[in-house]
Amino acid sequence: MAQSSEAYDFSLFEPYEYGTAAPEYEPDYEREERYERPAEKKQRQQSAVSQKERRATARSRANAVKLLAAAAVIFMFIGSGLYLNGRLDETARNISRIESQIEIAKSENIRLNSKLEGMVSVDKIENYAENVLGMVKLEDYKVKYFNNDAGNRVIVSGGKTYSDSQGIWGKIQSFFENIF
């Protein structure tokens, strides 16, 4: 057998619906869309394009606003960083100035303390007492010592005495002595 290029039509085996030859009824809105006038169709296409353009311009404006807001925030951070660095430098200069003043005050303190030690030394005091005031050193044999073993006594007016070391009987006796 020779090769043939025949095609089989399987639609013959499908069930067939018997109906009318009239076209099926289409609602008006579908028919109107299919059979629009060219001017109306062009106007509708232009309104669709203009809506797309409006959306695109709205998106581009929103993107521009976002970009400007981001740039403003970045400039704000940069500006605040520069300001804070300036304040930090100013504070560092103030600290170094105060530290140098402290060092000057310390050196002045050392100078004044050494001058005070020179003025208050024992040799200077002895020299001042002998030369200016006319004082002489006391010899050991000229020293008299005072011994107060009797305790502390207070002499009040009228020749009466008061002593802390008398005890309770002594206090009572002194109380009656001071009354009379």
Q: What is the tens place of the pLDDT at every residue in 126-135? A: 888 889 988 8
pLDDT tier for residue 21 given thresholds of 50, 70 and 90: low
**pLDDT at site 27:** 57
- Mapping DSSP to helix (H, G, I), strand (E, B) and coil, where does residue 153 land? strand
pTM of the model: 0.37
**Nearest-5° Cα angle at 47, 66 to 31:** 140
pLDDT tier for residue 169 given thresholds of 50, 70 and 90: confident
Tokens standing for residue 119: 């003025």
Q: What is the chain's mean pLDDT, rounded?
A: 78
Q: Quick check: 166 and 174 in contact, CB under 8 A?
A: yes
**Nearest-5° Cα angle at 96, 93 to 99:** 150
Residue whose token pair is 């001042």: 128
**Angstrom distance (rounded) from CA 111 to CA 105:** 10
Which residue type, as a one-letter code, is found at position 20? T
